[in-house]
Chains A and B, each alone.
Chain A
């Protein structure tokens, strides 16, 4: 087990290097540092101001020449003295660097945005899991009936609406029909924080329910055909017991792996939702960074996202092995 873990962790390193390589290539080709400086200082900035900015942000070396992106081929220089390797050295120690637009340490920005994002995604996830499981169990219970067919169509229909439409319409409708909760805004004030997350959580639930129900339904349908169900029924178990005790427990293997894979992303937040509801979370941070081409934040975000994804994969594999004794990790 330990060997497996170490191997997996080592395997993450080339992937992270590859990920950051692609990111650097894309962003430094799109926006040269000089263009980024213009973007940040404004179109009226003078040449002097731009040079100054480049100097203050480590884009030029001591002689004032601009640093290359990947490999430093200038004579007499360390070939690894480039933007890419400097950043990788920083990331190895988890120093997330600074934002280019505001000079704030990115770690502070992340820490600040994590809680609001979690306030939305965590409740939506937990409640969504509960509702999806219940709904899918219900559909399996009444399978092949009219409700099942229409239920499936409804699920697919709800998957066919883009998230932007959900959010735009949802916000307008909710503000008119349910004016108990603010249509916008976020403020941490203990219990009352709940009123700010009510609408976004509801919209997130509605938009995600369809896909989840469909997936869980497929999983549970596989179980229904198993022989142990028929045995339980022959033994006289009630429908509820069969459903909830036998099917749920066996289906949970697949469900858990799906759930664990999704957990790390709870922290990243949802872009569109946070933007429209004014939740100052990590999704908002990312949208902002993209729109202002703030490469300092983008680098750190990509790094964080990749780490979370890889850890999620690892956790999924471990969970799968833990829950299903037939699986052995190599």
Chain B
């Protein structure tokens, strides 16, 4: 092998590669080309580029219970009801696949039935699983099938245990299927009674007004039997959970795992249209022209899977993401230091929106712990010492909403004027309470040492570590000692479920549906794990009695009264140190027309209403991504100089 020739060859190869690279892209657009450039009617094809912080685990609507799955599922599957985009205080439901709100019938034997009429002309998305590839019309039988799937053990529906308590027939069907090893789809469960193709009745075992919220969730979305049976993983076909087929505004055109999900509009979507009213007065000019328009406005949604926040922010700044901030936990830090946007971003026309989530986060006490569980004054003292405002400034950029009560805004029963006496920092009062609790100056009389408390945390990310350190500091303000126990997610869960903790932080509750029952259930004594999610193991007979009364009541002044009493018990007993209601931050590029500020919809349901100005986007991207070549030339020059100098100097010397 002749070294010289080899070197020459390799150098030419390298130069060729460099040239190829240069030709291959002088353009830093990371997105693949859209599927089409024009719509069928000749109008331009509109694409929106969004971020998914992680791959969804499953797109099966009866299974998926994670945030990322829901963002995608709500585009593909729609349910009988949906949340009204403009009503946020309180949240309201409106018909989606149903013609009108379900009619409630109280039966003489104590059970209830809801009569539901479906809209006509609703088609499933086109897919090879249907004969001829055309989606067929949706009928009541599809809902029967959906509820059968919920009871099927092989499907692993996570909310079966919630629903089987109220809906007839689900529980027995599940047990039968477990015994037989297989679910018999030919046998009806009794949960639904079909009247005709577009009418059916839902049978409940007892009154449960919250069932309406479940009818707005993807768990009850109609699923075509053909799709489930066709996509069984055999013959090179995908599994159904990776190949969803629904009747929602978008269908999945492509899913490259860990990279991209491409959603394309469903051509025959007619279930809902843009509302004809109900928006805030200030938006009248914006929305009047599109009132009653056909949905969706955007033809293609490209959801890029971007796990790290820095590259996502980079892409947003370059203009390659239309908005930043879908997931609640990742983007708390990708935001300005002040309450308003920085000059740089606002000069570009970027808009910041903050919406309060229907969720509450808190630090939990274990009511069965012999130190904190039996000592109400100690708990009140700790609660009064905690400075929520500072936590808000440090971790929430001042934009969180302090939680004075368990119920978040938007849920019926939330009292915006209520002030929690133990949630405003008052160190003097906290010390007094501590003294009354039996620990004057934080010294435990039995040991003459400061009382040591153990706080369980999950601290995998930098932010979680900093928050844990902050919480420790808060407790130590009173002179107490606080030991931080770090846990993996699994261990943290385990300790919560088995009750092996004294205090833990980072817990909270995100509303499944905006009804107070969903939150107060957390303190119902029958929900102590493993039966339910009462992790604090709070048990108060008066609370239980009131809870049982109000849980299935319709909303009325009497119910509000009971809610107020429940709240008072929780405030006084202090099983948790209430933290905050988290706020979802979203930054929108200047070319996006945002519609809904409904946090229950924010994840996904609002996307069908969004529209954007593609020409403005192209212009801004060009403006924000101007290239400069001088650094490359400087670098090349330096390297050439070094090599030349080296060769020149060494030429004379011996090897």
A residues engaging B (CB < 8 A)? 30-31, 35-36, 38-49, 52-53, 55-56, 101-104, 109, 112-113, 123, 127, 130, 138, 141-142, 145, 147, 168, 171-172, 175, 177-187, 189, 191-196, 198, 224, 229, 233, 239-245, 248-249, 275-278, 280, 284-285, 288, 293
CB-CB nearest in chain A for B10? A130
* Contacting pair A248 B3 (CB below 8 A): yes
Shortest distance in angstroms between A277's beta carbon and chain B's nearest beta carbon?
7
CB contact under 8 A between A39 and B627, given known A145-B646, A175-B318:
no
* Contacting pair A30 B625 (CB below 8 A): no
CA distance A293 to B314 in the complex (A): 29
* Contacting pair A168 B304 (CB below 8 A): no
* Contacting pair B310 A45 (CB below 8 A): no
* Contacting pair A48 B161 (CB below 8 A): yes
Q: Is B334 among interface residues, defined by CB-CB distance under 8 A?
A: no
Shortest distance in angstroms between B470's beta carbon and chain A's nearest beta carbon?
23
* Contacting pair B490 A180 (CB below 8 A): no
Shortest distance in angstroms between B199's beta carbon and chain A's nearest beta carbon?
32
* Contacting pair A53 B493 (CB below 8 A): no
Q: Type the 1/0 row for B300-316, where 1 means its CB is closer than 8 Å to any CB of A.
A: 00001111101110110
Query: Chain B residues with Cβ under 8 A from A101's Cβ?
Result: 57
CB contact under 8 A between A46 and B160, given known A179-B28, A278-B311:
yes
Closest 9 CB pairs of A and B: A195-B25, A244-B3, A185-B30, A182-B30, A46-B161, A280-B258, A194-B24, A184-B311, A35-B490
* Contacting pair B156 A127 (CB below 8 A): no
Given contacts A130-B10, A145-B649, 14 further A-B contacts (CB under 8 A): A38-B497, A39-B490, A41-B65, A43-B533, A102-B241, A171-B310, A184-B315, A187-B260, A195-B28, A239-B651, A245-B4, A276-B311, A280-B256, A293-B489
CA distance A297 to B259 in the complex (A): 18
* Contacting pair B314 A171 (CB below 8 A): yes
CB contact under 8 A between A186 and B259, given known A35-B491, A180-B27:
yes
Shortest distance in angstroms between B19's beta carbon and chain A's nearest beta carbon?
11
Residue of A35, A47, A285 touching B494 (CB-CB under 8 A): A35
Shortest distance in angstroms between A63's beta carbon and chain B's nearest beta carbon?
13
CB contact under 8 A between A241 and B161, given known A36-B490, A194-B25, A278-B305:
no
Residue of A38, A48, A185, A276 touching B31 (CB-CB under 8 A): A185
Within 8 A of A (CB), among B63-83: 65-66
User: How many positions in chain B have a CB within 8 Å of any CB in the partner chain?
Assistant: 82
* Contacting pair A194 B20 (CB below 8 A): yes
CB contact under 8 A between A241 and B493, given known A48-B160, A147-B642, A278-B259:
no
CB contact under 8 A between A243 and B655, given known A103-B239, A276-B310:
yes
Within 8 A of A (CB), among B128-157: 153-154, 156-157
Query: Chain B residues with Cβ under 8 A from A45's Cβ?
Result: 65, 158
Majority SS at the chain A contact face: helix
Query: Chain B residues with Cβ under 8 A from A55's Cβ?
Result: 153
* Contacting pair B57 A102 (CB below 8 A): yes
* Contacting pair B257 A112 (CB below 8 A): yes
CA distance A165 to B157 in the complex (A): 43
* Contacting pair A38 B493 (CB below 8 A): yes
CA distance A66 to B33 in the complex (A): 50
What are 18 A-B pairs with beta-carbon distances under 8 A?
Answer: A30-B488, A30-B490, A31-B488, A35-B491, A39-B493, A44-B158, A45-B65, A102-B57, A138-B643, A142-B646, A175-B28, A180-B28, A180-B627, A181-B25, A240-B3, A241-B3, A249-B3, A280-B258
Within 8 A of A (CB), among B465-510: 488-491, 493-494, 496-497
CB-CB nearest in chain A for B161? A46
* Contacting pair A141 B311 (CB below 8 A): no
CA distance A176 to B97 in the complex (A): 48
* Contacting pair B258 A284 (CB below 8 A): yes
* Contacting pair A145 B650 (CB below 8 A): yes
* Contacting pair A184 B314 (CB below 8 A): yes
CB-CB nearest in chain B for A99? B57
Query: Chain A residues with Cβ under 8 A from B493's Cβ?
Result: 35, 38-39, 43
CA distance A186 to B32 in the complex (A): 9
* Contacting pair A191 B156 (CB below 8 A): no
CA distance A145 to B650 in the complex (A): 9
Shortest distance in angstroms between B287's beta carbon and chain A's nearest beta carbon?
34
Shortest distance in angstroms between A30's beta carbon and chain B's nearest beta carbon?
7
Q: Is B282 among interface residues, defined by CB-CB distance under 8 A?
A: no
